[in-house]
Every structure is written in C-alpha cells, then in structure tokens.
Amino acid sequence: MAYSQQLLRIPINRLPVPNPALPITLCQRSRLSGVDFDHLGFGDVFSDHMFRCEFTDGRWHSAQIVPYGPIAMEPGALCLHYGQAVFEGLKAFRGVDGVPRIFRPDRNADRLEQSCARLCIPPIDQELFCSAIEQLVTVDEKWLPQRRGESLYIRPLVFATEPNLLVKASDRYLFLIITAPVKGYFSTTDSGVSLRAEPNYTRAAMGGTGFAKTGGNYAATLRPGTDSVEQGFDQTLWLDSRDHCFVEEVGQMNIFFKIGDTFVTPPLKGTILPGVTRESVLTLLKDHGEKFEERPVSMEEVILAYDRGDLQEVFGAGTAAVIAPVSRIAYGEKTLNFDVSPENLASKWLYQTIVDIQTGVTEDIHGWNRIVRTDANTSRPVESVRF
C-alpha cells in the first residue's frame, strides 16, 4: 500500500537533515493575553495553532499548521459511530535555559504506530509526527509556561472521517495535533492519590485494545471511575479481567510497588498501556542500581507485604502527573494506608529526576529530550525564567 512507503526507520534524534518546513497559516489574533497562567487547568485552554494532515486516496497529505478551531465533519463519520480513533499524550517544557524541550516524542510516535495498527488506521511517518510537534511548539512557543512542573501538553489524535454506517475501517482520516498549557501536579504529588480497587468492571482484557491509546478504553472507565470518586477516591485501581486479582494500572497511569528493596510493576502483556513514563522510570531505576522486576503482582501479594510491613511505597507513573505517590488503597473491606511525606521516598527522587531532565537541569544522558531551537529562545536570558 502507498502509505507503507512513508514508514521511515530513521532514529529520530539523529536525523541528518531537518524535515521540510510545513506550510503555516497564522491566526489573526493570538488568544494568549487572555490566558490566566496563574490558574492553569489540565487541557481546558488550547494554544493558537494546530497541526492537521489528511488521509485520502491511500496516502497522508496536506500536512500543515493552521489556527486552532472547529473542524467540519460529516455526521456519518465512522469515528463518531464505531470509535475508530487513537490519540497520544506528551509534553514540551521550557528549560531553565529558556529553551523548549519535547520529552521523548519518538516513543509516542512508536506507540501511535502500535495503536494505529490495532485499530486498522494507516500508519503515520514517525519523523513527520516528531517534526510536526516540533514545528507546532515553535509556532506557539509563547504558550509554553515558565514555572517548574508546568508544561505545554501535546495531544495528537487520529480519527476516521469517512461517512459510512458499515462497521468497517475508514478510507479517510484526519490527524490533528493540538496543544494546551497545563499546570504542574504538585498538590497530588504532596498529598498522594487514593485508589479504589475495582471489583467488577475491568479496563481491558487479553486480546482486546488495552495496549492501544484508543478512546473506547477511556469511555469504558467512566462508569467505574465515577463510582470511585463518589466513594471518596481519586482514581480506580484496575485489576485483571479474568480473576480480578492481579493489578494492572491506576486510572491513566502505570503502577509501581516497592516491596522490600525491589520495585515491581506489572508486565506489558497486551492489557496494559505501555507508558513512556513507566519506561523512563525503569531506566532510572537501572541507572541508580535499584532492583526491579516486571511481573504479575496480585492484590494478595500486595496485602501480605503490607501486613508484614514490607510494602515501602506505591506510585503511579504517567505523563500528566509524572509520578503520583499513592496514599491509600481500598480493596473490598481492606484499606492500606501509606505515608507519602518522607523525603526519602523513591517517588520523590524519581519525580525530581524526571522533571530535572525535562527542564534541562540535569544532563540528559539518554537523549530523551528533543530540543526545539527557535530564534526567539536562543537569545532569551536565563534570568527571565520564573520559578
């Protein structure tokens, strides 16, 4: 098929020539001055521009940057009926040197490819993906928040636009990238998140779409998620779909347990979303000489470890919160409580280390950041960065 030619296998950070610049249509008037950067939410305000690219006649084309705004779509569009849609989530940060950095976009490009493959969506060239994000961040560079923890959240999405009521793979798609300045998550990091282990509903089953970032997975979590909130918990702890006994994920994060001196996280076997943060945490644990295991973790093991005082800490890992320490887990009649205040918790140094890499405080030894070089930032004095 024509689109397979676009699958370039070039390491993203080592591309010899920059991708050709995209056509850009600038907005008439920036909305930036109306944004209250002191009270940022999480994705309720969008930056001035968006990227768009269409798939018709068997190929992706018309890649460009345009003003953010409504899109015209037929009511018969397949995505609206049968959910043929996938998305990604990553962040750009303003470094302490004023330079924008995008965190590991190559990993999101890779995951988008896996999601697209599962949903029968034609793949998107990984370098187009990374380069489109870079150019979009360059155009809306002023939307990058300045304070530590804050970032420009980047949301790529691909969905089926062919008007057709047959249950089939669409022959037309739209690929958009929108961005939103978002707050840091200091409050959750300080107080921890409380979890309710879900006894009935499940997020994903073997052979399903759990590993893909596709909308339907999240629609399915709204009912149990609402139950968790109504019962006074922040998030739902997902258990396996067969026996409701093995831990899978927490809300939209991967989960880690520190049992004795070993970090344990469930393995990627198709039902768990392969998080970029999860992968980064595993690398950092390795760098620090910590012991870790990717293996199934049952609630029984968690409770036994807790009861004998061996469960040191539990934390979630995901782009939004980076690292979120867990303060409480309820499982049936049993409640486990954790003190998230000690400074020596792994969740604290992991959070600090990741944010330090993202903001250029610490050397990026693994080459995780894609540095955005713009005329505006190369002359920006470091003192102008607010902390």
Ligand X SMILES: *Cc1c(COP(=O)(O)O)cnc(C)c1O
Least distance in angstroms from the C-beta of 322 to ligand X: 9
Q: Can you tell me the distance from the alpha carbon of 284 to that of 261, in angstroms, rounded to the nearest whole number?
A: 15
Pattern 276-295, binding to ligand X, x per CB under 6 A?
xxx-----------------
Nearer to ligand X by Cβ, of 183 and 278: the residue is 278
Question: Is 275 a residue that touches ligand X (CB under 6 A)?
Answer: yes
67 to 106, contacts with ligand X by CB under 6 A?
Answer: 89
Do the beta carbons of residue 257 and residue 291 sit within 8 Å? no
Stretch that binds ligand X, among 68-76, 78-86, 226-234, 252-260 (CB under 6 A): 252-260
Nearer to ligand X by Cβ, of 65 and 178: the residue is 178
Tell which one of 252, 265, 353, 369 touches ligand X (CB under 6 A): 252
Q: Can you tell me the distance from the alpha carbon of 240 to that of 247, in angstroms, rounded to the nearest whole number?
A: 6
- Exposed, middle or buried, 324 (CB in 10 Å: 0-12/13-18/19+)? buried
| 328 three-state secondary structure | strand
Nearer to ligand X by Cβ, of 318 and 360: the residue is 318
300 to 319, contacts with ligand X by CB under 6 A?
Answer: 318-319
Nearer to ligand X by Cβ, of 65 and 116: the residue is 116
Least distance in angstroms from the C-beta of 221 to ligand X: 8
Place of tokens 């991967």: 254
| 369 three-state secondary structure | strand
Q: What are phi and psi of 176, to 5 degrees?
A: -120, 155
Nearer to ligand X by Cβ, of 77 and 285: the residue is 285
Tell which one of 50, 160, 273, 326 touches ligand X (CB under 6 A): 273
Nearer to ligand X by Cβ, of 49 and 213: the residue is 213
Tell which one of 254, 265, 327, 347 touches ligand X (CB under 6 A): 254
Do the beta carbons of residue 321 and residue 189 sit within 8 Å? yes
Number of Cα atoms under 13 Å in the Cβ half of residue 9? 1
Do the beta carbons of residue 155 and residue 89 sit within 8 Å? yes
Closest CA to 148 of 184, 182, 180: 184
Question: By the criterion CB under 6 A, which residues form the site for ligand X?
Answer: 89, 213, 249, 252-254, 273, 275-278, 318-319
